[in-house]
Amino acid sequence: MAQKEKKDTEGRMPQSKKAVSQWETVKKVLSYIKRYRFMVALSLLLAAVSVVLTLYIPILTGRAVDLLLGQGLVDMEAIWGIMVQIAVVMAVTAGAQWVMNSSNNHITYRVIRDIRQDAFRKLENLPLRYLDAHAYGDIVSRVIADVDTFADGLLMGFTQLFTGVLTIMGTLGFMLVTNIPITLVVVCITPVSFLVARFIATKTYTMFKEQSSARGEQTSLIEEMVGNQKIVKTFSRERAVKEQFAEINGRLQKCSLKAIFFSSITNPATRFVNSLVYAGVGIFGAFFALRGGISVGRLSCFLSYANQYTKPFNEISGVITELQNAIVCAARIFELIEEESQVPEPAGAAELTDAKGNVALEHVYFQYTPEKKLIQDFNLKVQPGQRVAIVGPTGCGKTTVINLLMRFYDVDEGCIRVDGRDIRDLTRGSLRTSYGMVLQETWLRAGTIRDNIRMGKPEATEEEVLSAAKAAHAHSFIKRLSKGYDTVITEDGGSLSQGQKQLLCIARVMLCLPPMLILDEATSSIDTRTEIRIQKAFAKMMEGRTSFIVAHRLSTIKEADVILVMRDGNIIEQGNHESLLEQGGFYAELYNSQFAV
């Protein structure tokens, strides 16, 4: 068996592996840039024009210097002509650079738009398994913060990398034409810049990768704490949360300081190399000028080229540092985009219409993680119109069964059938439309009360909305709101109580009246008086509809046709309320424990 990839003493992957990973990320970025190849070609052309014209100015300047022969020997007419040429060249260069920068901005932000759209489309198609296993803040950080950082690096790459490389090639060509020996001095010192750039690039990639990961952790914690401030304060967890934040913030500080340190030495290091090149050209050029091998004007032109030749190395080193950060962020984005989507529906997936409510679970196996078994060989047959209650201790698999029925998760083995058809052969939309769900956790969206009730049936009339609200006993509190049904609420329900939010969710199901119902602690946040009324409304609504009821208060499921008692993912008892009490088994223990003093 092949040995696994070994890590070095610091826990990092070997350089070859890292280089392959970086190159794979670059290829993915190039696939997005390729869509705008015309704009890239235009940008390269304008960069070439800008560089050539910029390098032409020292030639004109050198000619002007050579016309200053001495006192009284100055050809002002020719110098004025050269100055006009310089002005025209500078104006054309400025115009070319403006258009080039506009093109670069166009390419960058179009590429960023495409990446964000792909990332958001992926979020819409990710299985719940992925969303349950990853912190929301980290996902948000990838789509927003990492994409912004990548945009900055990409824009800098377009703006400075193209012109920098072309400037190096252009100045080298001009210097070779001007004087080959002095050019060789410049070329001999140049490798020092490459060594500096390589050293910095190697260090900064690792540091920026750690920084990006820690920033995602920090965003995740902040998002979670802001959204759950009431829970934090209720359990007096402020100090613990602060300590957790301080720990993450400390790690972010350390890796950020290291990343900033290595990236900040780029400028002084490359400036030192620039000074070496400039000094070398000045010394050798002076000797050539004294021997008559080069004129003073051409030497000044050469010195200008030497300065322009080394300057891009400084810029490119800075660009490489930013590109390292951008590549790390891009890798995190592509990691999200390339996550395995939920299992696609088969080409001939059927629409579930007019469901009768015949549900069967046949030899179902399921587990969230490979190392922890949950549901093993689960079998259940539900006749149309039956009310099935599922009870058991926490973690026994009650909510998991609901997730499987709705196909939020697919079974590992076995199958689930509705009206005799495997739900994997049905479209998810038609399957989920056939169920009405009321969970302990409320689902509301930003909008009016009316919009929230109509969520499952947008075409419902005003009379239908009012009737559903009255059936759910929500009408009275809605009318007491400032604008009644037109009251706008936020995504979390705003100032509504938990019970009021749950009544809205119940009203939503009352409006749709699907053929099958799932009630998971649907009345857990409602007062006892209202619960009695709601239970009566539910009883009426469940008539003729297959219903799955998950409850912890066993007194609420006495009227169920079948009660399934679960433990460790298996049905250990089955029957109605009276028969299970007579058995004196686990259900009887659960039921009697609720009345124990």
Please give the pLDDT value at position 91.
92
Min mean pLDDT across 205-214, 312-321, 569-578 is at 312-321
Dmax (CA) of the chain: 125
Confidence label for 15 from pLDDT (cuts 50, 70 and 90): very low
| Residue scoring higher pLDDT (383 or 341) | 383
Please give the pLDDT value at position 73.
63
Q: Answer yes or no: is pLDDT of 86 > 80.
A: yes
Instruction: Report pLDDT digits (tens) over 332-348.
Output: 888 888 888 877 777 87
Confidence label for 576 from pLDDT (cuts 50, 70 and 90): confident
**Can you say whether the dihedral through the CA atoms of 428, 434, 439, 444 is positive or negative?**
positive
Instruction: Report pLDDT digits (tens) over 50-73.
Output: 888 887 887 787 777 777 655 556
Please give the pLDDT value at position 385.
86
N-terminal to C-terminal alpha carbon distance within the chain: 61
Q: Answer yes or no: is pLDDT of 12 > 50.
A: no
Distance separating alpha carbons of residues 285 and 307, to the nearest angstrom: 14
SS3 at position 577:
helix
What b-and-e string marks burial along 321-337, b requiring 16 or more CB atoms within 10 Å of the CB? bbbbbbbbbbbbbbebb
Location of structure tokens 């439309």: 433
Strand-pair partners of 547: 387, 517
Please give the pLDDT value at position 69.
58
- In 3D, which of 24, 32, 39 has the Cα closest to residue 117? 32
- In 3D, which of 89, 107, 493, 140 has the Cα closest to residue 333? 140
Q: Answer yes or no: is pLDDT of 314 > 70.
A: no
Strand-pair partners of 516: 435, 546
Q: How many helices (H) and strands (E) does the chain have?
A: 22, 12
SS3 at position 297:
helix
Over pLDDT 90: what percentage of the chain?
3
SS3 at position 115:
helix
Residues 6+ apart with CB under 8 A from 242: none
Q: Answer yes or no: is pLDDT of 430 > 80.
A: yes
SS3 at position 223:
helix
SS3 at position 363:
strand
- In 3D, which of 502, 447, 446 has the Cα closest to residue 472? 502
CA–CA distance from 75 to each of 70, 135, 289 (Å)? 10, 74, 22
Please give the pLDDT value at position 198.
67
Which DSSP helix (H) or strand (E) runs through 364?
strand 359-366
Q: Which two tokens stand for residue 283?
A: 């010394």
Please give the pLDDT value at position 14.
43
Asked whether 203 and 325 are in contact (CB, 8 A), the reply is no
**Can you say whether the dihedral through the CA atoms of 109, 112, 118, 120 is positive or negative?**
negative
Instruction: Report pLDDT digits (tens) over 138-165.
Output: 788 888 888 888 888 887 777 777 777 7
Please give the pLDDT value at position 264.
75
Q: Kindly give the interhelix angle for 191-227 and 180-189, rounded to the nearest 10 degrees.
A: 40
- Residue 529, number of CB atoms within 10 A of its CB: 9
Distance separating alpha carbons of residues 524 and 278, to the nearest angstrom: 79
Strand-pair partners of 364: 378
Q: pTM for the whole thing?
A: 0.65
- In 3D, which of 548, 467, 550 has the Cα closest to residue 515? 548
DSSP annotation of 241 reads: H
- In 3D, which of 324, 335, 337, 336 has the Cα closest to residue 22? 324
Q: Answer yes or no: is pLDDT of 254 > 50.
A: yes
Strands 562-567, 570-575: pairing is antiparallel
CA Rg value for the chain = 36
Average pLDDT over residues 381-408: 84
Distance separating alpha carbons of residues 316 and 318, to the nearest angstrom: 5
Average pLDDT over residues 567-585: 83
The sheet with strand 387-391 has its strands ordered as 435-438, 516-520, 546-550, 387-391, 562-567, 570-575
Please give the pLDDT value at position 74.
65
Q: Answer yes or no: is pLDDT of 205 > 60.
A: yes
Question: H/E/C letters for each residue in 349-413?
Answer: CECCCCCCCCEEEEEEEECCECCECCEEEEEEEECCCCEEEEECCCCCCHHHHHHHHCCCCCCCE
Average pLDDT over residues 403-425: 89
Instruction: Report pLDDT digits (tens) over 415-429.
Output: 999 988 898 888 888
Q: Answer yes or no: is pLDDT of 3 > 60.
A: no
Domains and CATH numbers, the chain: 116-337 (1.20.1560.10), 359-593 (3.40.50.300)
Q: Answer yes or no: is pLDDT of 197 > 50.
A: yes
Mean pLDDT of the residues in the chain = 80
DSSP annotation of 550 reads: E
Min mean pLDDT across 30-39, 190-199, 342-351 is at 190-199
Residue 538 identity (one-letter amino acid)? F
**Can you say whether the dihedral through the CA atoms of 535, 536, 537, 540 is positive or negative?**
positive
Please give the pLDDT value at position 377.
84
| Residue scoring higher pLDDT (72 or 109) | 109
